Amino acid sequence: MSQTVSDFPVGRLHRWDLSGFKLALLTALTAAPLAHADAPLEYFLHSAGPAATPTMHLGWGLTAMCVAVVVIIAVLLAGALMRRRPPTAERVLGKEGGGMAWIYIGVGVSTVALLVSLFYTLVTLEAVAQPSLTPGLTITVTAYDWWWKIDYGDDTEPANHFATANEIHIPVGVPVKISLKSADVIHAFWVPRLAGKTQAIPGQVNAQWIEADAPGVYRGQCTQFCGSQHAHMAFDVIAQPQADFDAWRSAQVRQAALPADGQVKDGQKIFMDRCAGCHAVRGSDAAGAQAPDLTHVGSRQQLAAGTLTNTPTHLLDWIEHAQQIKPDSLMPSFTLNVQDAAALSAYLATLR
Ligand code: HEC
Ligand SMILES: [Cu+2]
């Protein structure tokens, strides 16, 4: 039997379209977390280290339980709404029976579900409290309005002590202890893929540990509202193979080179006049302590706590327009003539 165009089941075609759409939506929803497995963002649905994995499993588990509760209640509610009832005249109060059973079931299931989630939460807290190995490396992180100071080593070992800003390097597969302080107000340190949140409280030293399973850049963010630029208080954790980490560390320990040529010398003079009160450059007389250490600023990927990518243009933009780029930040905007801007840029370019 031949089929003409008008016989074609349009209705069914329509339904096919819809199910294709649903399939695409479902695929997108389930694939999204996988596609983002390597995203360098605050992507908390895929953990990247043992301090975060138990918490992530707990999160998925509690979410699944909540979804199950909502679905079961929705089904029961739909069943109750669609159930046939006797005519009004025949309804007798209290005689139907069976109602109490649902109450016992509801209270019983809720009690079990809450106890299981309490127990699971306690087990998770215990699992992430301490790393399995004693951390070989301690990094002191101090939160400032609105940036992060990162200290490696301390004054007991001046030769190995250096400070950087908004960029934490760690070796892969090694637990690292974070000693957390605040210089002003309460902030919170959070690298979603590596560990839970920890507050940075003035006058107190809190501890957290992080460990990355694989090399990569893991984004962190202040998660306690700390003033107008709270949202621009990000940082990167860069996990590297041990050899790369050691190379990075020995490059950071080095002091800045002495300026050789004329323009760089002019730039350094401008820096000493206008910047050194706040910023330090090790190997020079600049020893300001209330702003990021700039000894190796050129080696960093971001400027001003994740606000700008670190390029020579952005660097000069930042110096001339800090108050427009990050209003209220504790760095003033500077007016520089073309010559001074070029000299300062030339000097800063040597700090890498
Ligand atoms: C009054 C103190 C002060 C002075 C003076 C000052 N800065 Fe800053 N600077 C800061 C603070 C505070 C920050 C951190 C701002 C933030 O991210 O919120 C900063 C950030 C920076 C950064 C970004 C560093 C990073 O790793 O993110 C650069 C580069 C910089 N300043 C360069 C300069 C230069 C060059 C001068 C002189 C022309 C200068 N600053 C003068 C306080 C100062
Ligand atoms: Cu903050």
Predicted confidence at residue 28, as pLDDT, reads 47
- Which of 187, 268, 278, 309, when mutated, tests ligand 1's pocket best, judged by the most ligand atoms within 8 Å of its CB? 278
Structure tokens belonging to residue 161: 């002590």
| Host H or E run for residue 219 | strand 216-222
| Index of the ligand 1 atom closest to the CA of residue 326 | 18
CA–CA distance, 301 with 303 (Å, rounded to integer): 7
Mean pLDDT of 6-35: 44
Predicted confidence at residue 315, as pLDDT, reads 96
- Taking the CA of 141 as reference, the closest ligand is 2
Residue 4 pLDDT > 80: no
pLDDT digits (tens, 9 = 90+) for 188-219: 999 999 999 999 999 999 999 999 999 999 99
Predicted confidence at residue 54, as pLDDT, reads 94
- Which of 295, 331, 345, when mutated, tests ligand 1's pocket best, judged by the most ligand atoms within 8 Å of its CB? 331
CA–CA distance, 115 with 190 (Å, rounded to integer): 28
- Taking the CA of 150 as reference, the closest ligand is 1
| Index of the ligand 1 atom closest to the CA of residue 147 | 17
**Structural domains present in the chain:** 39-78+101-253 (2.60.40.420), 262-349 (2.60.40.420)
* Single-letter residue type at 316: L
| pTM over 0.85, yes/no | no
pLDDT digits (tens, 9 = 90+) for 33-87: 444 444 445 567 788 999 999 999 999 999 999 999 999 999 999 998 998 877 7
Structure tokens belonging to residue 250: 């020995």
User: If we measure between CA atoms, which residue out of 320, 314, 310 comes closest to residue 341?
Assistant: 320
Predicted confidence at residue 184, as pLDDT, reads 95
